Amino acid sequence: MTQLHSRKLQYLDEIARSGSIRKAADRLNVSSSAINRQILALEEEFGVPLFERLPRGLRLTAAGELCIEHVRDVLKDFSKLETRIRALKMPQAGRISLVTTVGLASGPLPEIIGQFIEQNPRVHIKLRSDGGTTTVNPVLTGDVDIGLGFNIAAMPGIRTLATFDIPIGAVVPPEHRLAAGTGPVDLVDLVQERMVLAQSGTSLRDVINLVLSSVPVPVEPVLETNSSETVRQLVRRGIGISLLNPLDVVAECRRGELVFRPLAAMQTHHQPMKLFTRARASVDASTSLFIEFLLKELGALVADLQKDGNLPAQRGSFGPIKT
């Protein structure tokens, strides 16, 4: 496996650590002349010296410092790759457990998880869907490795891996009068319609109540439920319109079954979506691989929604996770 990377990288790293070609040669069990030839060839390729030749050894130049930083990043990434490949050779490559909301479990996650399983067929995933902020509890108790939910407050024992700021908006059937427009919609237009909303006490309904608080008249939904799937089905049937976040309906919107319209900027409120783990829990190779894949896919999904005008510029933060 080490042949995937040039020996020059290992030679550079060992010389920088030991400060001597002879010591590096002894540790790597190769001849000093072989290492010296490789380093000279690399310096010729760059056109600058990477080491100062001193009476008692070698010292990195400024160019060498830049080069060794890159070399060590490459070697570290390759070490992670070797660990993951070794894990995939095991009878059971790994077990991953994830808790999320009902809406996400029936929304974008099936496609994301399906793609991951296709690429990693020997990894076993346990997906659990809970309601609202109760996604925190199984992570805190260690029942699951990863949590993905909305409005998760910072608390001891939880380590945030990524956050995404997701605004709620109007969801209507494709034949609805509001479906044909472009750009944001005004709450005044929405409250004239029958509404199917998340049940009181849910994290989504708390955000909806903030949105509707700017409306001078009370809004009485025709139906309230804690099932996002029920909301989507009733909106598809034309029973009413709803307020949801775009991730809850991304699959239906792509199939043309529903239309998401963002709210006017002064009327919208956001649901922060957080990916998190237990603070002091170790993350194995399979879980780490899944986290990186999930972050990449969620980031791409948010970027697509922003491009389509369904999300403002991302205000949260997300990126690679160190495990």
Concatenated DSSP letters of 140-198: HTTS-SEEEEES----TTEEEEEEEEEE-EEEE-TTSGGGS--S-B-HHHHTTS-BEEE
Query: How high is the pLDDT of residue 258?
Result: 92
Query: How high is the pLDDT of residue 270?
Result: 81
Residue 85 lies in a domain: yes
- The CATH number given to whatever domain includes residue 132 is 3.40.190.10
Give CA–CA dist 196/222, Å, rounded: 6
Binning the chain into helix, strand and coil, the percentages to the nearest 5 are 45, 20, 35
Residue 319 lies in a domain: no
Give CA–CA dist 39/31, Å, rounded: 13
Residue 46 lies in a domain: yes
Give the count of domains, the chain. 3
Beta carbons within 8 Å of 195's beta carbon, 6+ residues apart: 219, 221, 222, 240, 241, 242, 243
Query: How high is the pLDDT of residue 12?
Result: 87
Q: Are residues 148 and 214 in the same domain?
A: no
Residue 242 lies in a domain: yes
Query: How high is the pLDDT of residue 87?
Result: 62
Is 190 a residue whose pLDDT tops 90? no
Percent of the chain with pLDDT over 90: 24
Q: Which of 62, 89, 116 is the last residue of a domain?
A: 89
Q: Are residues 136 and 188 in the same domain?
A: no
Query: 131 versus 180: which is more confidently predicted?
Result: 180
Query: How high is the pLDDT of residue 322?
Result: 35
Q: Which of 60, 89, 118 is the last residue of a domain?
A: 89
Q: Are residues 17 and 81 in the same domain?
A: yes
Q: Are residues 154 and 296 in the same domain?
A: yes
Q: Are residues 244 and 296 in the same domain?
A: no
Domain that holds residue 85: 2-89
Task: Please count the other Cβ atoms lying within 10 Å of the Cβ belonging to residue 161.
Answer: 23
Q: Are residues 251 and 180 in the same domain?
A: yes
Residue 313 lies in a domain: no
Q: Are residues 150 and 277 in the same domain?
A: yes
Mean pLDDT confidence for 313-318: 36
Give CA–CA dist 126/314, Å, rounded: 29
Q: Which of 44, 66, 89 is the last residue of a domain?
A: 89
Percent of the chain with pLDDT over 70: 88
Q: Are residues 35 and 62 in the same domain?
A: yes
Q: What angle do CA 213, 132, 248 make, to 5 degrees?
A: 80
Q: Are residues 81 and 210 in the same domain?
A: no
Q: Are residues 85 and 100 in the same domain?
A: no
Mean pLDDT confidence for 211-225: 87
Query: How high is the pLDDT of residue 222?
Result: 93
DSSP 3-state assignment of 277? strand
Q: Are residues 150 and 292 in the same domain?
A: yes
Residue 320 lies in a domain: no
Residue 60 lies in a domain: yes
13-40 pLDDT, tens digit per residue, is 888 888 888 898 888 888 988 888 888 8
- The CATH number given to whatever domain includes residue 24 is 1.10.10.10
Max avg pLDDT among 129-133, 162-166, 263-267, 314-318: 162-166
150-159 pLDDT, tens digit per residue, is 888 888 889 9
- DSSP at 134: G
Q: Are residues 106 and 244 in the same domain?
A: no
Mean pLDDT confidence for 237-251: 90
Q: What is the DSSP string of 240-276?
A: -BEEE-GGGSHHHHHTTS-EEEEBPTTT--EEEEEEE
* pLDDT band at residue 315 using 50, 70 and 90 as cut-offs: very low
Residue 323 lies in a domain: no
| Partner residues linked to 244 by β-bridges | 169
Instruction: Give the chain's mean pLDDT.
Output: 83
Contact of 171 with 242, CB cutoff 8 Å: yes
Whether this model's pTM surpasses 0.85 = no
Query: How high is the pLDDT of residue 217?
Result: 79
Query: How high is the pLDDT of residue 13?
Result: 87
Tokens read off for 143:
């029942």
Contact of 162 with 144, CB cutoff 8 Å: no
Candidates 301, 321, 322; CA nearest to 311 is 301
DSSP 3-state assignment of 323? coil
Give CA–CA dist 6/175, Å, rounded: 60
